């Protein structure tokens, strides 16, 4: 799918405009097709499938497998399984396979997909009263009866004037013990001299529990190859080995023997490939670089993306070539390279992911706010559930700062260990998907849904986004059929529609 070119004629009206060809957007479009409705998808990048086609190919699945359901399970992950000749859904896969499945589902949905269509602010969205009427595209104003913001950034909802939040709420706002700045349960790693090297920031000097506008670290979820045709790790422009001094200290402290000790725990993917993630205390994440991203202009976001690319590519080059590392370490690292058959048209170079992993952008302030209390309360049922979920509260480090003479603090995780705090099985209500009554009446937000930072930390996974995207599509179809606002939806009808294609709204332990 290629970017559209400008023409004079305005596009024909659609039933629904979806902003973001992410898994959430794809599932919304598929549900709409099943209701006989036409969707237009505006994708801000040059690729479809979101991060699952852009590098995140080791899927975090729920602790209760039955919670992953609906078309998300059967058609997307099931489609990936079928591509490998498997009878069951597949949750570890190659990006190129996820991209093919995403494109196939969009074609099945009959969606018109326009790539490289970024929204820049309120001037790109027409709102009349409490309803969005149109969004600006390179083809002209695209009108629709309903809108779904399925982007990682939440640009459509923000431009339409929908209330949202960024960063971490203070503990007192929702009485969440894990909310806000958490220095007591932060990681502390000793033996760093100096302990102020990049990417270590400054001590925030906030009282515990104080809120801030900082987001958890983003990264690129790289895919590495051990095949003979692998590409050597490139030396990025502006490469500076000094940036990796703290990482070097950490590798020596922990006796890490090579890159294989860092990435093989992520498990071999089909095709002789491995998945990268944060890995070590200092690793592929870049805490601090993400803070400006959610509310930033696209120019600022592109700067952040470039910084993340330089950090990730520079780290791989450093691990393979820096003379401060033992030759055995460097030789081990050089057994890996970039896969030439993945990300072939990435703007960051062949074999390198085209999508930054935005773990948390804006969050809707909706009709219901999911909080820590919804995650840790046995039998916490919701009368308007649209899906179930159970996965530990997963927030990556928000910031590094020095403490004393030789300690680096990694603050922002919710446990202070390498393990996520557990949660109970819970239901997600429909009310997290749309604004409160009195707000915009024809929008659903399945990815930047309504939750506190802590509440978002558990369900912020691609399978959940997919299932919420399905619910968003059904909400849109119902609102169009009835002519009512999304806030006046009929949950009994919504539940029936979700279940019609395999959705699961309750499980044992929630009755």
Q: What percent of the chain has pLDDT over 90?
A: 92
pLDDT of residue 2: 32
Centre a 10 Å sphere on the Cβ of residue 190 and count the other Cβ atoms it contains: 12
Return the higher-pLDDT residue of 450 and 10.
450
Which segments within 150-267 are labelled E, that is strand?
A: 164-165, 187-190, 223-225
- Could you tell me if 105 and 242 lie in one domain? no
- Quote the pTM value: 0.96
Mean pLDDT of 230-254: 96
- CA-CA distances (angstroms) from residue 14 to 17, 101, 134, 191, 433? 7, 24, 10, 60, 21
State the Cα–Cα distance between residues 161 and 177, nearest whole angstrom. Answer: 30
Condensed to tens digits (0 to 9), the pLDDT of residues 478-507 reads 999 999 999 999 999 999 999 999 999 999
pLDDT of residue 241: 98
- Could you tell me if 40 and 143 lie in one domain? yes
Phi, psi of 375 (to 5 degrees): -90, -25
Classify 213 in phi/psi space as left (phi over 0), alpha (psi -120 to 50) or beta.
alpha
Is 234 part of a structural domain of the chain? Answer: yes
Confidence of residue 510 (pLDDT cuts 50, 70, 90): confident
- Could you tell me if 19 and 141 lie in one domain? yes
- For residue 496, give both structure tokens: 């029936």
The number of distinct structural domains making up the chain is 2
The reply to whether omega before 194 is within 30° of 0 (cis) is: yes
pLDDT of residue 511: 63
Q: 458, 375 in Cβ contact below 8 A?
A: yes
Strand order in the sheet with 273-275: 223-225, 273-275, 268-269
Site of tokens 């670089």: 289
- Could you tell me if 20 and 161 lie in one domain? yes
Listed in sequence order, the residues at least 6 apart from 82 whose beta carbon sits closer than 8 Å to its beta carbon are none
pLDDT of residue 264: 65
pLDDT of residue 304: 98
Is 118 part of a structural domain of the chain? Answer: yes
**pLDDT at residue 8 tops 90:** no
Mean pLDDT of 468-482: 98
Q: 352, 338 in Cβ contact below 8 A?
A: yes
Q: 377, 170 in Cβ contact below 8 A?
A: no
Picking from 333, 362, 393, the residue at the C-terminal end of a domain is: 333
pLDDT of residue 265: 66
Mean pLDDT of 223-244: 96
Confidence of residue 131 (pLDDT cuts 50, 70, 90): very high
Is 360 part of a structural domain of the chain? Answer: no
- Could you tell me if 154 and 228 lie in one domain? no
pLDDT of residue 509: 82
pLDDT of residue 118: 97
State the Cα–Cα distance between residues 163 and 126, nearest whole angstrom. Answer: 17
- Could you tell me if 326 and 231 lie in one domain? yes
Is 326 part of a structural domain of the chain? Answer: yes
pLDDT of residue 384: 98
**pLDDT at residue 9 tops 80:** no
pLDDT of residue 246: 96
Is 172 part of a structural domain of the chain? Answer: no
Is 485 part of a structural domain of the chain? Answer: yes
- Could you tell me if 21 and 144 lie in one domain? yes
Q: Which of these, 375, 367, 491, 384, lies nearest to 426 by C-alpha position?
A: 375
Average pLDDT of the residues of the chain: 95
State the Cα–Cα distance between residues 240 and 210, nearest whole angstrom. Answer: 35
Condensed to tens digits (0 to 9), the pLDDT of residues 172-185 reads 999 999 999 999 99
- Could you tell me if 144 and 238 lie in one domain? no
Condensed to tens digits (0 to 9), the pLDDT of residues 385-421 reads 999 999 999 999 999 999 999 999 999 999 988 889 9
Confidence of residue 6 (pLDDT cuts 50, 70, 90): very low
Is 327 part of a structural domain of the chain? Answer: yes
- Could you tell me if 263 and 134 lie in one domain? no
Site of tokens 């819970």: 426
- Could you tell me if 127 and 241 lie in one domain? no
List the domain range (segments joined by +) for residue 281: 223-333
Condensed to tens digits (0 to 9), the pLDDT of residues 34-72 reads 999 999 999 999 999 999 999 999 999 999 999 999 999
pLDDT of residue 231: 98
Is 443 part of a structural domain of the chain? Answer: yes
pLDDT of residue 5: 32
State the Cα–Cα distance between residues 428 and 69, nearest whole angstrom. Answer: 14
Of 260-274, 292-306, 364-378, 464-478, the one with minimum mean pLDDT is 260-274
- Could you tell me if 254 and 137 lie in one domain? no
Picking from 333, 353, 368, the residue at the C-terminal end of a domain is: 333
- Could you tell me if 162 and 229 lie in one domain? no
Picking from 315, 333, 351, the residue at the C-terminal end of a domain is: 333
């Amino acid at each position: 799918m290629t970017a559209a070119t400008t023409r004079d004629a305005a596009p024909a009206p659609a039933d629904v405009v979806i902003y973001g060809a992410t898994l959430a957007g794809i599932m919304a479009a598929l549900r709409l097709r099943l209701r006989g409705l036409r969707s237009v998808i505006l994708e801000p990048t040059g690729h479809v499938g979101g991060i699952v086609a852009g590098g995140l190919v080791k899927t975090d699945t729920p602790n209760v497998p039955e919670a992953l359901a609906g078309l998300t399970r059967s058609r997307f992950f099931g489609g990936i399984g079928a591509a490998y000749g498997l009878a069951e859904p597949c949750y570890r896969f190659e990006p190129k396979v996820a991209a093919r499945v995403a494109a196939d589902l969009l074609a099945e949905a009959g969606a018109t997909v326009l790539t490289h269509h970024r929204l820049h602010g309120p001037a790109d969205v027409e709102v009349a009263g409490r309803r969005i009427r149109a969004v600006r595209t390179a083809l002209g104003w695209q009108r629709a009866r309903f809108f779904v913001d399925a982007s990682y950034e939440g640009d459509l909802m923000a431009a339409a004037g929908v209330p949202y939040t960024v960063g971490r709420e203070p503990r007192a706002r929702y009485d969440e013990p894990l909310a806000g700045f958490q220095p007591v349960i932060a990681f502390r790693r000793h033996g760093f001299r100096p302990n102020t090297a990049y990417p270590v920031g400054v001590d925030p000097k906030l009282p515990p529990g104080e809120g801030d506008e900082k987001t958890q670290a983003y990264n690129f979820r790289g895919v590495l190859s051990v095949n003979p045709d692998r590409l050597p790790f490139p030396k990025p422009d502006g490469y500076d080995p000094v940036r990796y001094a703290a990482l070097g200290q950490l590798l020596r402290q922990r006796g890490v023997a090579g890159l294989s000790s860092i990435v093989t725990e992520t498990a071999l993917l089909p095709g002789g490939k491995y998945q990268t993630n944060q890995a070590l205390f200092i690793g592929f994440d870049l805490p601090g670089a993400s803070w400006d991203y959610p509310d930033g202009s696209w120019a600022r976001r592109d700067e952040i993306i470039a910084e993340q690319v330089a950090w990730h590519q520079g780290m791989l080059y450093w691990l393979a070539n820096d003379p401060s590392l033992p030759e055995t370490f460097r030789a081990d690292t050089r057994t890996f390279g970039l896969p030439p058959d993945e990300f072939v048209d990435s703007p960051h170079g062949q074999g390198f992911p085209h999508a930054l992993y935005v773990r948390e952008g804006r969050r809707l302030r909706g009709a219901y706010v999911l909080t820590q209390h919804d995650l840790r309360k046995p039998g916490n049922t919701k009368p308007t559930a649209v899906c179930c979920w159970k996965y530990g509260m997963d927030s990556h480090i928000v910031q590094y700062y020095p403490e004393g003479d030789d300690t680096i603090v990694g603050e922002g995780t919710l446990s202070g260990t390498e393990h996520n705090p557990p949660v109970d099985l819970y239901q997600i209500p429909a009310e997290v998907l749309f604004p409160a009554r009195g707000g915009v009446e024809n929008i659903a937000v399945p990815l930047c849904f309504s939750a506190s930072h802590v509440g978002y930390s558990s369900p912020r996974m691609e399978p959940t986004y997919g299932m919420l995207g399905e619910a968003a599509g059904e909400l849109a179809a119902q609102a169009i059929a009835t002519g009512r606002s999304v806030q006046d939806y009929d949950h009994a009808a919504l539940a029936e529609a979700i279940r019609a294609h395999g959705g699961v709204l309750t499980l044992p332990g929630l009755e």
